[in-house]
Amino acid sequence: MSTPLTAITMPKWGLTMTEGKVVAWLRAAGTSFAPGDELLEIETSKITNVVEAEAAGTLLRVVAGEGTTLPIGGLLAVTGPADAAAADIDAFVSGFVAAAPAGDTTEAAAAPAPRMLDVAGTRLRYLELGGGAGAPLVLLHGFGADLNTWMFNQPALADARRVLALDLPGHGGSARDVGTGDADSLRHAVEAFAAALDTGPVHVAGHSLGGALAVLLAAHRPDLVRSLTLIAPAGLGAEINAAFIDGFVRASRRKDAVEVLQLLVHDPALVSRTMVEDVLRFKRLDGVAAALATIARAWFASGQQQVSVAAELAGLTIPVQLIWGSEDRIVPVTHARAAPPHAVAHVLDGAGHLPHMEKSGDVNRLIRRFVDG
């Protein structure tokens, strides 16, 4: 009895993805790979990303060649032990096809949808994936983003735990009213969300403004937070790219939005036209521009960060790790030095302000090891 064969299937990145296209296989059939090795590139209407191996194995058969478009869950390749018999692989492939849903409609219908939570006088949208008895992981996005910023992280990390991605007030599908939009008001909303989970302390990962909120949450409610992963967090220094903040708040046309969004990443090709369109569609909704402007005034007035969480971070006793892109053009990587000695800092080369998207495999490994350890 040999090790069973396993399938590599089309991942689901983000709420709206229904299918993906194989751009390139980075490993040939017959070669073996280690966990974290890059296997193939997949393109969706929004973004192209690399699929990495979760465990060691051998790429036995590529089922979906380059240029093939498959629905989510569709069979991309078969992996397993190098000595697997061809007949077994054949049987696996035909069995998989037979078991797979006929179209993407079934898959889409079964896909988890975001939910709304009425709490602390506001309405928050969140997406929950995964399950298990362990402490859940809560994801807090940055200024102007929404829970889709975790599209490469949340599904991967949900293999072993509940992972909940929140839309901050004024963002995504949450209520547009942000009150004063300052640190206290946003932290109250996050705190109410974490408390409503009623699961005991959770791991929190926060990006940028969400990172600063994560620190404030842990400082005000140590009973709710087990560990912190801070990805290019705000609040550890005065510098911020004011051109980005102002440009993002102001942009209503494609051209302006492209320029601003490209500041976020090291490789501008990551900013696809559909990604720009999604940002514009969000920003066109009544109330969004006002909400973003209110938050920007409270956090980033006069081109400087107005909220400092350095003292709160220094006072924490829970495990803390920092992840920063070496090429961050929004919040400089030098702010990582403000972290207390017990916090481990990881600087990822070739990543900008969105390492969780640009280097999703690395970030997922760092988070997984951290929360498991």
CB nearer to other proteins: pick between 86 and 113: 113
Residue of 16, 210, 48, 34 lying closest to 113 (CA atoms): 16
Q: Which of 286, 337, 341, 373 binds other proteins (CB under 8 A)?
A: 286
Distance separating alpha carbons of residues 229 and 322, to the nearest angstrom: 6
255 is a contact residue toward other proteins (CB under 8 A): yes
Q: How far is the CB of 269 from other proteins (least distance, A)?
A: 13
Q: How far is the CB of 235 from other proteins (least distance, A)?
A: 31
- For other proteins (CB under 8 A), the number of binding residues is 10
Q: Which of 253, 301, 315, 334 binds other proteins (CB under 8 A)?
A: 253
Q: Which of 94, 106, 252, 334 binds other proteins (CB under 8 A)?
A: 252
Contact 242, 301 (CB under 8 A): no
273 is a contact residue toward other proteins (CB under 8 A): yes
CB nearer to other proteins: pick between 115 and 284: 284
CB nearer to other proteins: pick between 196 and 285: 285
115 is a contact residue toward other proteins (CB under 8 A): no
301 is a contact residue toward other proteins (CB under 8 A): no
Distance separating alpha carbons of residues 115 and 329, to the nearest angstrom: 33
Contacting other proteins within 177-236 (CB under 8 A): none
Q: How far is the CB of 353 from other proteins (least distance, A)?
A: 25
Enumerate long-range contacts of 99-102, CB under 8 Å, 24 or more apart: 100/73, 100/74, 100/75, 101/71, 101/73
Q: How far is the CB of 273 from other proteins (least distance, A)?
A: 6
284 is a contact residue toward other proteins (CB under 8 A): yes
> Is residue 4 classed exposed, middle or buried when 0-12, 13-18 and 19+ CB atoms within 10 A define those classes?
exposed
Q: Alpha-carbon torsion 294, 300, 301, 306, what sign?
A: positive
Q: What is the bridge-based pairing of β-strands 115-119 and 122-129?
A: antiparallel
Q: Which of 103, 121, 287, 315 binds other proteins (CB under 8 A)?
A: 287
Listed ranges 6-14, 229-237, 283-291, 348-356: which one lies at the site for other proteins (CB under 8 A): 283-291
In angstroms and rounded to an integer, the radius of gyration of the C-alpha atoms of the chain is 21
Q: What residues have CB less than 8 Å from 8, skipping those under 6 apart?
A: 39, 40, 51, 75, 76, 77, 78, 79
Residue 344 φ/ψ region, left for φ over 0, alpha for ψ in the -120 to 50 degree band, beta for the rest: beta
116 is a contact residue toward other proteins (CB under 8 A): no
Distance separating alpha carbons of residues 155 and 20, to the nearest angstrom: 15
CB nearer to other proteins: pick between 114 and 130: 114
CB nearer to other proteins: pick between 272 and 308: 272
* Binding footprint of other proteins on the chain (CB under 8 A): 252-255, 273, 281, 284-287
